[in-house]
Amino acid sequence: MHNQCCPKAWMFHFLVAPRDIMEIAKLQDDNKALDRSTKSKEAALLEAERSVQVVVAKASMVDDLQNMNQELMKQIEICQEERKTLDRELARTKVTANRVAAVVANEWKDANDKVMPVKQWIEERSTLTNGTVCIRKSLLIAAEESKVSLKDGSESSNLLRGTKKQVRVRFSFLH
């Protein structure tokens, strides 16, 4: 019976063994493919972790920069307020300096030569300049009229009187 089992067993192994060998080879190929896939996925995971670390580092830098930006904005506001304060103080100082200069200048003058405020001086100068322009225009008109009236001898004295009246009327605001 042993002899009979052996050939049957041998036949069984002979038929089953190639299948097992093929199955084992297939499983080994599958294992190799899984190992390659696992290694590829591990490499991708490591790369993703590095990318995440870079993104986290950049986010941290952005957060730090935003904090610095906010701090700088606060400092800018403080500086602007200080500048406004300094501008006001400068304006006050200029006014005081002008007053002191006027007082000092007036101390050196007699009563008739007192220093007048700049605004008043500018207004008076403008008035006088306008008056001078009007006088020049009137004189030019009178000169032209006198040239014409020289041709008419009798009218020249009347024209001269009329021109004098015009000049007096135009410049009555100066007195």
Q: What's the average pLDDT block by block, 10 residues per block, for the chain (175 residues)? A: 55 65 88 95 95 94 93 92 93 88 73 66 80 78 69 60 67 57
- DSSP letter, residue 116: P
- Compute CA distances 66 → 53, 57, 72, 75, whole Å: 20, 14, 10, 14
Q: Is 134 exposed, middle or buried (0-12, 13-18, 19+ CB in 10 A)?
A: middle
- Compute CA distances 122 → 57, 81, 113, 115, 134, whole Å: 67, 34, 17, 13, 18
Domain chopping of the chain, boundaries = 41-111, 116-175
How many Cα neighbours within 13 Å face the side chain of 122?
3
Q: Which two tokens stand for residue 125?
A: 């100068």
- Any idea which residue has 């390659």 for tokens? 36
Q: Which two tokens stand for residue 79?
A: 């500086």
Residue 112: what pLDDT? 63
